Amino acid sequence: MNTQQASELKQLLQKVASHPDLFLGKPDIFLAEVFLSGFSAALAKTAGLDLTEHQRVIADRGWRVPSASESVTNQMLESGMSPEQVIAELVAIEIEVVNRSTE
Structure pTM? 0.88
> What is the rounded CA–CA span in Å between residue 70 and residue 47?
26
C-beta neighbour count of 69 within 10 angstroms: 5
CA 47-13-92 angle, 5° bins = 90
Q: Would you give per-residue pLDDT tens digits along the chain (103 residues)?
A: 788 888 888 899 999 889 888 888 988 999 999 999 998 888 888 877 777 888 999 999 999 998 877 889 999 999 999 999 999 999 999 999 888 877 6
Identify the three-state secondary structure at position 67: coil
